[in-house]
Amino acid sequence: MKLVKMNVNGSDVAAEVEENTLLVDFLRDNIKLTGTHVGCDTSQCGACVIHMDGQAVKSCSILAIQAEEKRITTIEGLANGGELHPVQKAFQNNHALQCGFCTPGMVMSAVDLLDKKPNPSDEEIREWLEGNICRCTGYQNIIKAIKEAV
């Protein structure tokens, strides 16, 4: 077991974990933040996307010990008090979700995209979201939502 310390959504957290504990499992099981989803366990679907030191990463492909002393933001950390992040609000406005399983990863990826490219084209949005799979929406409303959030 190893003690892991990091900042999650603005709060310092620490927990003892096995050295092979995935970051997604640490967030869900140790910190009880279940908005980050486990979809494929192979880093293909993007449901587990979080931000680590400001970069979108798939938390199912990172060990918790690799996040030692890092700044982590999950979907729960995007809203400001009771006010949704503009990307979250745009997803709501544009019905950019159905079952909602992929939504946290899509939103986190979209926030990362807009931080890096504030006015992306539809093609750039599609390319950026290539590592995120949605089996319900057909992606059109997701693209509309991201364009609205611009």
CB atoms closer than 10 angstroms to residue 8:
21
Amino acid 81: pLDDT: 87
Residues contacting 52, CB < 8 A, separation 6+: 23, 59, 62, 67, 70, 71, 72
Q: Which fold has domain 2-77?
A: Ubiquitin-like (UB roll) (3.10.20)
Task: Write out pLDDT tens, residues 20-78.
Answer: 999 999 999 999 999 999 988 778 899 999 999 999 999 999 999 999 999 999 999 99
Tokens, residue 6: 């990091």
CA dihedral for 105, 107, 108, 110, sign (positive or negative): positive
Which residue in 105, 107, 7, 5 sits closest to 53, CA to CA? 7
User: If you search the block for the tokens 């709060």, which residue do you land on?
Assistant: 11
Could you give the maximum distance between any two Cα atoms of the chain, in Å? 46
Task: Write out pLDDT tens, residues 93-122.
Answer: 999 988 888 899 999 999 999 999 999 999
In sequence order, what DSSP letters do the residues of 41-99 get, joined into one string? SSS-S-TTEEEETTEEEEGGGSBGGGGTT-EEE-GGGTSBTTBPPHHHHHHHHTT--SS
Domain ranges for the chain, please list them.
Answer: 2-77, 86-149
pTM (2 d.p.): 0.93
Q: What is the mean pLDDT of residues 14-22?
A: 97
Amino acid 136: pLDDT: 82
CB atoms closer than 10 angstroms to residue 100:
11
Domain made up of 86-149: CATH architecture: Orthogonal Bundle (1.10)
